[in-house]
Structure 1
Amino acid sequence: MTVEIALTLTVIIAMMYVLITEKMEPVIVFFIAVNIFLVTGIISVNEAVAGFSNKAVLTIAVIFVITAAARNSGALDYLVSFMLKRKQSHKSQIFRLFLPTTVLSGFINNTPVVATIASIFTEWGRKHNITLSKYLIPLSYAGIFGGICTLIGTSTNLVVSGLLEQFGYESFSMFQITPYGLPLAIIGMIYIYFFSGYLLPERESSYDRMEAEHQEYILEMYVKEGSEIAGKTIEEAELRNLQGVYLLGIIREDEAITPVNTSNMILEKDTLIFGGEIDRIDDLLEIEGLEIRPESHKYFDAVKRGEASFHEAVISLNSPLIDKTPKEVGFRQKYNAVILAVSRQGERVVKKIGDIKFKPGDILLLIADPEFHKQWERGRDFFQIAKKDNKIRLKRGNSIFVGLLFLTMVVLAALNIKPLLFLGSVTMSIIVLTGIVTLNEIKEAVDLKILIMIALAFGVGKAIENSGTADFLAEKIYGVVDTLPLFWIMVLMYLFVMVMTEIVTNNSAAVITIPIALKIAKLASVEPHSMAILVAIAASAAFLTPIGYQTNLIVYGLGDYRFSDFFKVGLPLSITFMFVTAGMLTYFG
């Protein structure tokens, strides 16, 4: 093992550790790794920045904008309105929800498709007393099924295609992956249709529990110096028998006391965390020396006057809020909203709201300005925002126009008349010139963190190749499996990529494994594109955890799921996909 290989392996292992433990944002991790490879001479300056001009990265940026146009035009809303016409049996509703989501996700990036449909379906489901936990994991999987069917269904396919080109091979065509992705999608749909009803939990969501508890929201009250309740126990202060409100916890400096009991002492400068009915909060103000934060009180008054409303927002995977507290981001000032409660993994986070560090998938219950939904629904901060009085707004003229544009782009790309990047750029230009998306909406639609991370990832992939690490690992791995039939080599390669995806996310897994996979393909005399298709499918077919794929994280909090729910439903599906993919590529690849 050379020094360069040892250094590259060390950096890759360190990257994986940091990504798994979420100690840094992924884009920072890749930035540091690329700079290490650059300083040590493993890659050149041109190789370090080559990803920023790669056609795959630029295509992803264009697809972001076109997808935003589809959302803005009302095209997705129009389809969802058809999907949700009436309450039906579980299997009928699964089919009506599932098939359009899968088809759409093949041609529009699956993450915004699932985010949009999940938002509208969640509101519709609550109005019709539907158990959301029976439908939202299937919705996420439907997005994944569609994504693996075409080049543009998921960014992972575009990343693998771009890496192929970087390593000297021809990139994927629009439907090159379809003969393998489509049978898998059909198998997945059959599995979900017949078995999801039995495997998924029937669980009341945290939102529904709050509704059932008379709209109990969290409120912080501050114990002033000289307060009449300071120095008393909870029982002595008579805080156990309040009407319509109850004490959830006490925040004392950096300590959270929860749950509380009657013997807990209340001290000056404590923050008391109450849950209760909005109309009963004024009763707390009658206690001398107990005060609500002035800015919070303003919002409650606004609700009573009808000038503000309640919203539910889910923190996105790449939100700038992640690992920051409301204080650090100036949440009230930035969003003109106040956080009433934070729900994480189905449980309310009981601590001082201003000190809670946001995590992906957190559900925020907010009182916000009436324009909050309109202003932030297409930004990167939140996956989706639900408002109690959401209505599906249809703009049929724009919907048809955008649909025809998109269909034209797909057909011309499929016929190889022009490269996808060229066709996408023309489509985007028409969309912008016709005003369907504004420049500000483009800025919100293009997630620079994702694009920069993917561009940097190409530098990491090049380092794995230049250092000899890909050859070294491929020879070691192939030395162990070379006596096995090709089918089992494919199975083990799929398993390797699948495990990587579940722990470091799809695009990272693709970048790390594709150089190794291509070297193994050469040693095993396998057509390189067959191995690349295997990596693309395995990296996207993340069914086992909510963190492996963005669509899983979108539904994680909304359905009040546990990690075990994904594993229980996703394990048979993952095993099936692994063997079917390996079989198709072995005998037909």
Structure 2
Amino acid sequence: MTPDAVITVSVVAGVFLLLAMARWPADFVFLGGLAVLLVTGVLGPGEALAGFSSPGVITVGTLYVVVAGIQETGALFWIGHHVLGRPSSERGGQLRLMAPVMGLSAFLNNTPVVALFIPVVRQWCRSLDFRPAKFMLPLSYASIFGGVCTLIGTSTNLVVSGLMQDRLGRGMGVFEITALGLPCALAGVIYLATVGRRMIPDREGTDRLFGDTREYTLEMEVAGGSALAGKTIEDAGLRHLPGGYLVEIVRGDHLIQAPPPDTELRERDRLVFAGSVESIRDLRARRGLQAAPDQVFKLDGEDRERRLVEVVVSDHCPLLGRSIRAGRFRDRYNAAVIAVARRGERIPGRIGDIVLRPGDTLLVEAHAGFAPRQRDSRDFYLVSEVEDSRPVRFSRAPAAGLIFAGMVAAAAFGWLSMLQAAMLAAALMLLTGCCSPGRARTNIEWSVLLVIASALAMGRALDQTGAAGWIAEGLLAAAGNHPWLALAGVYVATSLFTELITNNAAAALIFPVAVTMAGNLGVSPLPFVMCVAVAASASFATPVGYQTNLMVYGPGGYRFTDYFRVGFALNVLFGVISVGLAPVIWSF
């Protein structure tokens, strides 16, 4: 090998080692490796920064904005609450969960889909008395199953498509990988519903081990024209509330305490709930329910910029000993008290009539400036913003759905490239108000983009210095110049890399090796490329190889070994199917 090739291989090996030590963030490690290649002259400035202008990287970043628009309009929230239903068994629940997650992940990035479903599944499990551990791994794995079925299902496929465009002069069609990904996905579902189901641990999640002991009192109103009007409490889905319950209904001057499940709701009914902050956030996002009019309608500013904030009343607060209404809390702080918790006990009466005491925890709806402004105030001991608590803009959901469907159709039928379709969809999400500029910026996973761009540059270094050819020759020697064995070697190498580092980085690093091997054998590179795409996404045996696996680690109460016990067979299953089918679909 040349000196530059030695440096490149050493840098890549060093990156693997540092990531395995798990002491530094992945984006820092990859940027550090890229800096070494730049400083040593292995890559010039243009070559080192080329990954940041890659169509694949830009497409991934743009899709984060599109997904933010779908999330902000409540489309995914509706699916999560209305599709899962009330299955009678864990197996039925797992199938009910995996089907919509696979379908969504085929067209949306896996990460936001799993982020949406984690709290939904957690609450759903509590209401059905299921263990979250039985569902969190299937949630993550199902998102991976769906992601390998289309070009836009996972950022890995977009990265591979961009590399194909640069190296082979053509990208990947939206549904080109479906012929390989769908059989893998179906086999994965069957495995989890049968053999794998028995291997999933039956363990408490962190939400039960460290549950929220605060019980808030919340007052909501059935909106005029709401679809909930005329339904019973049972039919409206307000009976089995995860972490909360309906305490009473105020109907004009009539009070219905502990209402039975067959009580019919009417427009303008005031519903008093008690529950945890997560149940309160859930109720605030339900279509057909709105905050009591005297609570938030007079707040200054736009509704879309509101969010929920938890504050603890200090003994210096000027409103102590006065009711929330008499103390004019809303006028004083430009924030509306939504719910109140007091040492784990339920506070009777309406929100406005509650007399404040030191130590009371208030859940308030306020604007972005409230939390920074009040953190230094003597009125409150603690100020903490609740994540993902902005009001859902249900009125924009049809527009967001049409924009997303149009993006998929334009890319699928070849009217626009995937990058063009994504950028047009992102612009329309912003122009139509489906997504605010602030939410668009915060929804982009910048660390993921940095890892992808840096890994692309390292892949370029492997290719240009001849290191990829040297690695390919080693794999070919082990495979005996047999295309099937060589393909299996590429799949195994990619699978090992993606478990040790990240999926996008593994694809970017192995891609030039795979194409070089195909060239040396004189066969089509397409089977190799498609196997790299599937293998890079099929990370099931460790929690660190794929971001969604790490996301469910805590909520499921898992241990590191749980992933290997359940996921190793999935890795082998995907490998056998991919290596067996890829040369049949795209002949050597």
The two structures share one fold, judged by TM-score above 0.5: yes
Paired residue secondary structure (2:11)? helix
Q: Which amino acid aligns with 1:373?
A: E
Q: Which aligned pairs between 1:361-372 and structure 2 lie closer than 5 A?
A: 369=383, 371-372=385-386
User: Partners of 2:565 and 2:143 in 1: how far apart?
Assistant: 19
How big is the shift at 1:400?
Answer: 2.4
Deviations 1:67-114 (A, max 9, x none): 111111100011111123324212221121110100100101011101
Shift in CA distance, 544/374, structure 1 to aligned 2, threshold 3 Å: closer
1:445 alignment partner in structure 2: 443
2:139 alignment partner in structure 1: 139
Paired residue secondary structure (1:69)? helix
2:188 alignment partner in structure 1: 188
Q: 1:497 pairs with 494, 497, 516, which one?
A: 494
Q: Which amino acid aligns with 2:429?
A: I
Paired residue secondary structure (2:201)? coil
Paired residue secondary structure (1:137)? helix
Shift in CA distance, 483/517, structure 1 to aligned 2, threshold 3 Å: closer
Matched, 1:547 2:544: yes
2:162 alignment partner in structure 1: 162
Deviations 1:397-427 (A, max 9, x none): 4222212211111111111111111111111
2:209 alignment partner in structure 1: 209
2:577 alignment partner in structure 1: 580
Q: Which amino acid aligns with 1:178?
A: T
- Tell me, yes or no, if the aligned pair for 1:308 and 1:369 is still in contact at 8 Å: no
1:373 alignment partner in structure 2: 387
1:416 alignment partner in structure 2: 414
More off after superposition, 493-502 vs 202-211: 202-211
Q: Which amino acid aligns with 1:308?
A: L
User: Partners of 2:558 and 2:14 in 1: how far apart?
Assistant: 30
- Tell me, yes or no, if the aligned pair for 1:110 and 1:144 is still in contact at 8 Å: yes
Q: 1:568 pairs with 556, 565, 569, which one?
A: 565
Q: Which amino acid aligns with 2:38?
A: L
- Tell me, yes or no, if the aligned pair for 1:482 and 1:524 is still in contact at 8 Å: no
How big is the shift at 1:169?
Answer: 3.4
Matched, 1:34 2:34: yes
- Tell me, yes or no, if the aligned pair for 1:42 and 1:463 is still in contact at 8 Å: yes
User: Partners of 2:548 and 2:132 in 1: how far apart?
Assistant: 15
Shift in CA distance, 336/123, structure 1 to aligned 2, threshold 3 Å: farther
Paired residue secondary structure (2:552)? helix
- Aligned residues: percent identity? 33
User: Partners of 2:134 and 2:118 in 1: how far apart?
Assistant: 13
User: Partners of 2:204 and 2:450 in 1: how far apart?
Assistant: 39
Question: Which runs of no fewer than 5 residues in structure 2 stay unpaired?
Answer: 216-310, 318-339, 343-355, 365-370
**How many corresponding residue pairs?**
443
1:262 alignment partner in structure 2: none
Paired residue secondary structure (2:553)? helix
Shift in CA distance, 197/335, structure 1 to aligned 2, threshold 3 Å: farther
Q: 1:476 pairs with 474, 477, 482, which one?
A: 474
User: Partners of 1:102 and 1:181 in 2: how far apart?
Assistant: 11
How big is the shift at 1:462?
Answer: 1.0
How big is the shift at 1:122?
Answer: 0.5
- Tell me, yes or no, if the aligned pair for 2:468 and 2:516 is still in contact at 8 Å: yes
Deviations 1:461-482 (A, max 9, x none): 1111111101111112212212
- Tell me, yes or no, if the aligned pair for 2:60 and 2:155 is still in contact at 8 Å: yes
User: Partners of 1:334 and 1:106 in 2: how far apart?
Assistant: 42
Deviations 1:33-59 (A, max 9, x none): 223222333222221111222111111
- Tell me, yes or no, if the aligned pair for 2:535 and 2:575 is still in contact at 8 Å: yes
User: Partners of 2:556 and 2:363 in 1: how far apart?
Assistant: 23
1:515 alignment partner in structure 2: 512
1:536 alignment partner in structure 2: 533
User: Partners of 2:168 and 2:423 in 1: how far apart?
Assistant: 25
How big is the shift at 1:368?
Answer: 6.9
Shift in CA distance, 309/516, structure 1 to aligned 2, threshold 3 Å: same
Paired residue secondary structure (2:144)? helix
- Tell me, yes or no, if the aligned pair for 1:147 and 1:153 is still in contact at 8 Å: yes
The two structures have a TM-score, normalised by structure 1, of 0.70
Paired residue secondary structure (1:308)? strand
State the Cα RMSD in Å: 2.8
How big is the shift at 1:580?
Answer: 0.6
User: Partners of 2:555 and 2:41 in 1: how far apart?
Assistant: 47
Deviations 1:169-199 (A, max 9, x none): 3221211211111111111111112234311
Q: 1:427 pairs with 422, 425, 428, which one?
A: 425
Question: Which runs of no fewer than 5 residues in structure 1 stay unpaired?
Answer: 217-294, 311-331, 338-366, 378-392
Paired residue secondary structure (1:131)? coil
- Tell me, yes or no, if the aligned pair for 1:309 and 1:370 is still in contact at 8 Å: no
Deviations 1:255-282 (A, max 9, x none): xxxxxxxxxxxxxxxxxxxxxxxxxxxx
How big is the shift at 1:372?
Answer: 1.7
